[in-house]
Structure 1
């Protein structure tokens, strides 16, 4: 599991590990994938499910806010997939799952600059049994 905050107690075991990573940092992304592969012996599935959003109007949003949102919502899934693909290609039945948001289909009734492309966390999993799971 690659995410910003540690998961609840009891969620981790010999088949599920926690790797802290900043998904706006390409080195952290590469390192996270390599840590999972090394720790668990391979990679069966990548679930791109990370995202941030700001409920601000265009006038209120700073360029740095926009850049951060694009780094997490658009660039991170690309970089995670790029880092994971060589390992996924070595597995039978490996998958990449990209999760989007309902905000792509509908918006708030007030004008804003909301781009909620993903949910909360990005997860990189490998099942020790060789089966894919998420």
Structure 2
């Protein structure tokens, strides 16, 4: 889902790059409280991903999930047939076999919806803060 024109304008105004004359004043304590709640939610989300994505993941696998491409690496979270999937690598096999093995985790429908809503609504807003 793409952002509507009004939502983009709100984001630009929040960042201070908009053309409007609106001056926003951030409530630091509320921003910190929001970010703390987001962090608690993210930890609970990671626990749900850990238990419902097949064999339990190693901490390095869950911590290596990237939601956007960068110069160094590509994202490893995808939507396939309406479900969120994560592709991580398993480095231990690299030493034994000389090749990287990929671990594919597909999450249930309900959890996929929660992950998608987090990525679309919560994560972009918290990055602004």
Q: TM-score, normalised by structure 2?
A: 0.27
Higher relative contact order (CA 8 A, sep 6+): 1
Q: Of Structure 1 and Structure 2, which has the larger fraction of its residues in helix?
A: 2
TM-score by length of 1: 0.26
